[in-house]
Amino acid sequence: MSKNTGRTQFRKVDVDEYDENNYQDEQTDEEGKGPDEAEVQSFLNQKNYEEALKAVLRNPPLGSKNPAVKDKAFQLVMRVLTAFKTNDVEKAVNGLDPDTIDVLMKFIYKGFSYPTENSSAILLTWHEKAYAVGGLGSIVRVLTDRKTV
């Protein structure tokens, strides 16, 4: 039989402190400002769509709690994505780094959540090309990340 030592120190740990629902993400001032609309619009006017895509994904509002900032960034991303021709999508996605592809996937999934006329077809094209480069890991990171766009 086991010996009763009378120790009760283990009972002093507050397990509720480690509950996932009590976890708060740290938010810094640098996060949440969103992309520079003037810069993106300038690239779109010059028909330099690849640079517009890089500019719009450069500063996503990941940590922002302001829905207006997130909605404005989403509308700007959709404007850039719809400007591309279908043949140019693969080349644009191949020019992105892995972290930027994850941000693009976040915007694609947000677009799936709020479909508009003809946006689903465009987003499916982008999803196919982003999945080919980012793989399944990109989708898993997007679906499990607490910071949304």
- For the chain, give the percent of residues with pLDDT over 70: 87
Q: What is the band of 29 on the pLDDT scale with cuts at 50, 70, 90?
A: very low
24 pLDDT above the threshold of 80: no
Phi (first) and psi of residue 64, to 5 degrees: -75, 140
> What was the pLDDT predicted at 118?
87
Q: Which residues of 21-54 are buried (b: 16+ CB within 10 A; e: fewer)?
A: eeeeeeeeeebbebbeeeebbebbeeeebbbbbb
Three-state DSSP state, 4: coil
Q: What is the DSSP letter of 29?
A: S
> What was the pLDDT predicted at 16?
75
Computed over every residue of the chain, the mean pLDDT equals: 89
Give tens-digit pLDDT for 86-96: 999 999 999 99
Rounded to whole angstroms, how far apart are CA atoms 105 and 110?
Answer: 8
DSSP letter string over 85-141?
A: -GGGHHHHHHTS-HHHHHHHHHHHHHHHHS--TTHHHHHHHHHHHHHHHHHHHHHHH
Q: Which fold has domain 31-144?
A: 1.25.40
For the record, the structure tokens of 119 come out as: 């946006």
Domain boundaries, the chain: 31-144
- The average pLDDT across 64-72 equals 93
